[in-house]
Chain A
Amino acid sequence: MADPSAALDAVLLHHPVWRGGAPAQAGSRGIPTGFCLLDRELPGGGWPAGALTEILCADEGIGELQLVLPALAALTCAGSRVAWLAPPHLPYAPALAAAGVRLEFLTVIRAPGRRDALWAAEQVLRTGACRALLAWLPRASYAELRRLAVAAEAGMAFTALFRPSQAALEPSPAPLRLALESGGDRLTVRILKRRGIPVAQPLDIPIARPVHVLGRTRFPPAAARSPVVRMAAVRSPA
């Protein structure tokens, strides 16, 4: 009687059989994110260059920019241009410089309307003059995102689109979609969509925060004399 395992091995060896369990290999190497936990789960070992990445956050201020800032700092220190399109507030230059971003390679583009923002994004991506583009597009249809995806492929730039978390319910042509939530001191990242097998567990990324959430402050203890800080000491959760 023929050995069934030998027959199976022959099939696996000679016939094209897809085997699950391994993450997809991206065509090109990604830009390292700066967090090895995230690099392990992303195809290409980092942020994809030449494809859209959607970052969906429930609120501002939970550390969504800190997730991409190490990659931006590395890119600007290497001399590549980075553009921010339609940011919701003013990017504060001293904080960016303190995070390691070289300001002479950073450009802020303001667009008066939604269509202008989409047009500007397409122009920036298509020319390939920037290696990274961060764009804030709260409302964009599938067709408009598809156009941006085609432009991103032409320009080979890392494109991060920051959108509200309600956009998770809409279909999107972006090959990588992340949903961010605050997880105490860390940022909880759920990879909603990626090339290859889906990730089951959310990731806890240790991003840089100015203070420890539990209230241990970096400021000198002389500040404890102020009545306001005493109020915080009473209220901080155990």
Chain B
Amino acid sequence: MAPAAACRRVPDLRLRLRDLRAERAALESIAIWLCQFTPSVSLEPPCSVLAEIAGSLRLHGGAARLIGRLRRGLAGLGFEASLAVAPTARAALWTARSGAPTLQQLPLETMGLEPGELEALRDFGVRTLGELLALPRAGLARRIGPAPLARLDQALGMAPEPRLWFAPPERFSARLELPVEVQESEMLQFAAHQLLKRLEGFLAARHAAVRRCTLVLEQGRADALEIGIHLAAPARDAGRMMRVLRERLAAVHLCAPVRAIRLEATDLAGHAGSTTDLFRDPRLGGEQWLQLLERLRARLGETAAHGLEIRPENRPEHAWRSVEPGIARGGVPAGQGSRPLWLLDPPRRLRVAADVPQHHGPLLLLAGPERIQSGWWDGLTVARDYFIARAGNASLTWIYRSSDGWFLHGIFA
């Protein structure tokens, strides 16, 4: 029927152009997601995917449980699917396409016969596959030809059916077009969650984990906005990445409406999988600590949470470094004088009155001088005499005198 005629019949009809590439991409994304359940996945364009699950039944607790998981997962990805299980691939394909409860009741239309052959069989009074099988085979071969019979043999398991297996790609890149243009960054959470679920399936299929991925917001004519999701340790859990993304999205201000979002992950790291402990102590919380770090960094900034490390340096401001929490190398160098717990960065210049440095009153020098002269090799030469001094408000301070004058460098808290 021509489009114009169809529009006349149904006034509210909406026409959309068929996008074959997008259909193929969607089919591939389902196949990637299925790869986490079984390594043998095959595409059957335009809209079917076959997965061989005999080897995975035991791991996932039986066929019924696995089918339930598949159904829920596909719904989470945003697809409506009809699922069927059968001993052979072609039988499963036919059953899923037609929705018939058994092979015997399969209508002949799903067998992929030519219209002429279909007409001829209908004249015989044959409507379902069961009735077809009751007919003598030699006569059937003469009437409908060898090809449909070969397909029938494959469906019944009497002939082998080699298939092309699908291999998931090396990098993950998924795009989702939003049904409406989105102005608020919070509304992107649902769509982003779908993409993260697909990433989780991809990572499970490749036995990998990812430490950082990028969500790209396509804003039409404006430049695409990139939001990075950084995790403290390689992980594949979609919920964890969603928590970090939620904090990031809350801070993003959209200047133009977003039409589509894209998720990309390129650096994959091997993931050993976690072993569950028989006597698990709920307070151990190594995983909890990493998630806390991610949340803090997502809201307060990348450098918000850090650990400390000692470096073997004489210059006090270079004798420490901020590192990832949990790593600390280096011991305290021996033979050093006392060091203050607080260091001022940069050192504060002290007012001098009558040759005495002032900080809440005149400073009383109690110990010193400790000469630190170092740094000729990188140009940051220091030549300082350090003293421990008591200020007027009874606090102990670490001050130094250099050619520039008196400075306050630390406080003994």
Contact = CB atoms under 8 A, between A and B. Distances in A.
Interface of A: 58-66, 69, 81, 87-99, 102-112, 116, 119-120, 123-124, 127-129, 182, 209-213, 215, 217-219, 223, 226, 228-229, 231-232, 235-236
A188 B387 CA distance: 25
A87 B411 CA distance: 13
Interface stretch (B14-22, B63-71, B364-372): B364-372
Given A89-B344, A107-B307, A182 B366 contact: no
Contact of A217 (B285, B301, B366): B366
B331 A97 contact: yes
8 contacts: A93-B308, A97-B310, A102-B328, A109-B305, A120-B296, A127-B285, A129-B289, A129-B292
A71 B369 CA distance: 32
Contacts of B291: 127
A217 B412 CA distance: 16
Contacts of B322: 108
Given A92-B316, A94-B336, A231 B395 contact: no
Interface in B292-347: 292-293, 295-296, 299-301, 303-310, 316, 319-322, 325-328, 331-333, 336-345
A227 to B, nearest CB: 10
B403 interface: no
Contacts of B366: 211-213, 215, 217, 232, 236
A107 B397 contact: no
B232 to A, nearest CB: 11
Interface of B: 283, 285, 288-289, 291-293, 295-296, 299-301, 303-310, 316, 319-322, 325-328, 331-333, 336-345, 356, 360, 364-370, 385, 387-388, 390-391, 393-397, 401, 410-413
A224 B127 CA distance: 113
A99 B328 CA distance: 16
A219 B307 contact: no
B396 A61 contact: yes
B43 to A, nearest CB: 44
B412 A92 contact: no
B320 A93 contact: yes
B319 A60 contact: no
B309 A93 contact: yes
Contacts of B367: 210-211, 217-219
Contacts of A61: 342, 391, 395-397, 411-413
A215 B364 CA distance: 9
B285 A231 contact: no
Nearest to A228: B365
B393 A59 contact: yes
B248 to A, nearest CB: 15
A88 B292 CA distance: 22
Given A61-B412, A120-B299, 14 more contacts: A59-B360, A90-B320, A92-B339, A92-B410, A94-B319, A98-B338, A105-B326, A106-B307, A120-B300, A127-B288, A182-B395, A211-B388, A228-B401, A231-B356
A89 B412 CA distance: 11
B37 to A, nearest CB: 33
Nearest to B345: A90
A96 B288 CA distance: 26
A65 to B, nearest CB: 4
Contact of A210 (B285, B319, B338, B401): B338
Contacts of B387: 228
A235 B395 contact: no
Nearest to A83: B305
Contacts of B319: 93-94
Nearest to A67: B413
A103 B332 contact: no
A213 B390 contact: yes
Contacts of B337: 210, 218-219
A229 B333 contact: no
Nearest to B356: A231
A60 B310 contact: no
A116 B131 CA distance: 73
A156 B337 CA distance: 37
A123 B296 contact: yes
A229 B368 CA distance: 7
B31 to A, nearest CB: 38
Max chain B Cβ within 10 angstroms of own Cβ: one of A66, A105, A107, A123: A107
A218 B337 CA distance: 9
Contacts of B320: 90, 92-94
Contacts of B299: 116, 119-120
A114 B6 CA distance: 64
Contact of A123 (B283, B295, B331): B295
A98 B288 CA distance: 30
Given A60-B395, A60-B413, A97 B332 contact: yes
A69 B340 CA distance: 13
Contact of B364 (A69, A116, A236): A236
B346 to A, nearest CB: 11
Nearest to B367: A217
Contact of A65 (B304, B390, B413): B413
A103 B306 CA distance: 11
Contacts of A87: 342
Contacts of A213: 366, 390
A118 to B, nearest CB: 12
Contact of B300 (A88, A92, A110): A110
B390 to A, nearest CB: 7
Nearest to B326: A104
Given A60-B395, A111-B304, A92 B365 contact: no
A81 B308 contact: no
